[in-house]
Amino acid sequence: MQKEELILILDFCGQYNQLIARRVRECNVYCEIVRHDISAEEIKSRGAKGVIFTGGPASVYGDNAPKCDPEIFNLGIPVLGICYGMQLMTHTLGGKVERADKREYGEIEVNFSKSVLFDGFTDKNVCLMSHTDYVETLPQGFEKIADTASCPYAAIENKERRFYGIQFHAEVNNTVNGTKIIDNFVKKICGCSGSWEMSSFVKETVKALKEKIGDGKALCALSGGVDSSVAAALLNAAIGENLTCIFVDHGLMRKNEGDEVEEVFGKRFKSKFIRVNAEERFLSRLAGVEDPETKRKIIGEEFINVFEEEAKKIGKVDFLVQGTIYPDVVESGKGIGASIKSHHNVGGLPDHVDFKEIVEPLRDLFKDEVRKVGRELGIPDYLVDRPPFPGPGLAIRVIGDITKEKLDILREADYIFREELERDGINKISNQYFAALTNVKSVGVMGDYRTYDYMIALRAVTTMDFMTATFTRIPYETLERVSSRIVNEVKNVNRVVYDITGKPPATIEYE
């Protein structure tokens, strides 16, 4: 990262905060999300070229509403306020924010006036609104640059001081050309060149890891999935032989996956590779457990137990490295958000772990950004592009209690599904696809015999960021072939269904 290219995003607990960072990075400008109460002095010392205030659930006139350091407005750098951020800027600079008579939620037509913020736009544009409060009176020096039928100030500017506010959310896909607004702000208003690339992230992250770990030793929790593989590659580039990759084969992997992971990571990296065969240990602890949260926490605890045991064999190890990415953090309810489900490497960790620090170099990235990092590091495409595999493995794709028999059934069905989708090129349009073994048995007929066997659910979704998703439109011919193969080749299965539920309301995984 070049310091003069830095944009800081002040976090006011809005639901789209990380999307703002994504959009800035898509403009090839480096940015970081920081606390809303960061001091103006620190912003100045970091050389930020601009600041973005995010949205948030509070009302700026409320007693406990999050505020910013007012001295930010005296730094002489541009500020863009989005939704709550616009209202906060208005409130702080002497304008008035009130409860709206008519709330605006959803896609609303916005009327635009001429402004550098909207260069390249027509007079009207559909934008996503999501607000109850509105700006009633502008601060001194501000002008209106957009409105709607219900909102008199949908966007405002103080051109001289380079302060801009938008009531809608430019960062979401629902806002037509929303990224163009972000691009105009960071380049035409803040003066960023747009020269930052993912290679810069890799270079700076490797440098930061070297400085953090130094001559210390680290363990990497390597599952063989995309996220942990990229995290391992980053650490391998940073500390080489001082990294030990621990691959815990917990018996919950996909067909042949354990051997494939060992083949790749046992030979390609300078770092040490240890495969721990712990199937019996995990299945013993999971026996009879049906609750998905309990499963995740058991797996998380047992992972840490295994790592601590292996660390003692190696000697002093200060750092544990994990492939946690941003959707894991959001769904686990860290910070403001409600907990949707615990990820074994986030919410499933025990209160105490026997390491100096847990290092998560991908924590602020979405899945597609992680894949870009992987390519920059030279990880083969077949590994980088593989469907994501959760840390708890097939334990959360076997609904209800887990047995080795059920896992073997699922492994075979999942292998067939993935093989057929890849054969037909569906893997190019689907970002995640897998089979799940439901906890449902149904009556069937095979030949002249009545059967009473399991039902397999197939899941395939298309998504940009794994925060939302739609089901993949798989051709009927492909689904028919998959179903036929599964019921004919996999014992104890007599029915196959395809899940067409989006996220939300469902999650991508079943548990």
pLDDT at 335: 39
The whole-number pLDDT of residue 353 equals 52
Where helices occur in 348-387 by DSSP H, the ranges are 367-376, 381-384
Q: 237-265 b/e with 16+ CB inside 10 Å = b?
A: bbbeebbbbbbbbbbbbbbebbebbbebb
Tell whether 208 and 67 lie within a shared domain: no
Q: What is the CATH number of the domain that holds 246?
A: 3.40.50.620
Q: Which of 36, 91, 169, 344 is catalytic?
A: 169
**Annotation marks residue 83 as catalytic:** yes
Does residue 89 lie within any of the structural domains? yes
Q: Are residues 208 and 339 in the same domain?
A: yes
Could you tell me if 127 and 173 are in contact, meaning their C-beta atoms sit under 8 angstroms apart? no
User: Which of 189, 208, 228 represents a domain boundary (last residue)?
Assistant: 189
Torsion angle defined by CA atoms of residues 426, 427, 431 and 434, in that order, rounded to the nearest 10 degrees: 90
Q: Do 372 and 441 lie in a common domain?
A: no
SS3 451: strand
- Say yes or no: 130 and 251 in one domain: no
CATH for 40? 3.40.50.880
Select from 206, 227, 118 the least CA-distant residue to 166.
118
Domain assignment of residue 320, yes or no: yes
- Whether residue 36 lies in the annotated active site: no
How does 354-391 read in b/e, with b if 16+ C-beta sit within 10 Å? Answer: ebeebbbbbbbbbbebbbbbbbbbebeeebbebbbbbb
Q: Maximum distance among all alpha carbons in the chain?
A: 84
Both 368 and 454 in one domain: the answer is no
List, as one string, the DSSP characters of 36-95: TT--HHHHHHTT-SEEEE---SS-TTSTT-----GGGGGSSS-EEEETHHHHHHHHHTT-
d(CA 464, CA 431): 8
Structural domain count, the chain: 3
Q: What is the pLDDT of residue 354?
A: 65
**Same domain for 261 and 216:** yes
Question: Are residue 175 and residue 241 in the same domain, yes or no?
Answer: no
Out of 83, 151, 192, 220, the active site residue is 83
Q: What per-residue confidence (pLDDT) applies to 133?
A: 85
**Do residues 75 and 151 both lie within one domain?**
yes
Beta carbons within 8 Å of 119's beta carbon, 6+ residues apart: 180, 184, 188
Buried b (16+ CB within 10 A) or exposed e, 488-511: eebeebbbbebeeeebeeeebbbb
Question: What is the distance of C-alpha 394 from the center of its chain?
Answer: 20
Residue 162 included in any domain: yes
pLDDT of residue 126: 85
For position 127, what pLDDT does the model report?
Answer: 83
Catalytic site includes residue 169:
yes
As a dihedral over the C-alpha atoms of residue 75, residue 184, residue 467, residue 496, rounded to 10 degrees, the angle is: -170
**Is position 504 within any domain?**
no
Residues 5, 104, 157, 171: which is the catalytic one? 171
352 lies in the same domain as 424: no
331 in any annotated domain: yes
Assess whether 166 and 207 both reside in one domain: no
Position 207 in a domain = yes
Whether residues 160 and 293 fall in one domain: no
Q: What is the pLDDT along the chain (511 residues), one digit of tens a residue?
A: 444 589 999 999 887 888 898 899 889 998 888 899 999 999 999 999 999 999 988 999 988 899 999 999 999 999 999 999 999 999 999 999 888 776 677 788 889 999 999 998 888 888 888 777 889 999 999 999 999 888 889 999 999 999 999 999 988 877 878 899 999 999 999 999 998 888 888 998 999 999 999 999 998 888 778 888 899 999 999 999 999 998 889 999 999 888 888 877 787 778 889 999 999 999 999 999 999 999 999 998 898 888 778 878 888 888 988 888 866 665 444 433 333 333 344 333 444 456 788 899 998 787 888 989 999 998 888 778 777 788 789 999 999 999 999 999 999 999 999 999 999 999 989 989 999 999 999 999 887 788 999 999 999 999 877 778 899 999 999 999 999 999 999 999 999 999 999 998 999 999 8
CA distance 127 to 109: 6
Domain final position from 189, 214, 237: 189
Which of 189, 213, 236 is the C-terminal boundary of a domain?
189
Q: Would you say residue 503 lies in a domain? A: no
pLDDT at residue 276 in the model: 93
Burial class (CB in 10 A: 0-12, 13-18, 19+), 396: buried
- Give yes or no: residues 202 and 310 share one domain: yes
Does residue 391 lie within any of the structural domains? no
What integer pLDDT is reported at residue 330 of this predicted model?
Answer: 52
Q: At what angle do helices 226-239 and 367-376 cross, to 10 degrees?
A: 40
Domain ranges, residue 402 = 397-498
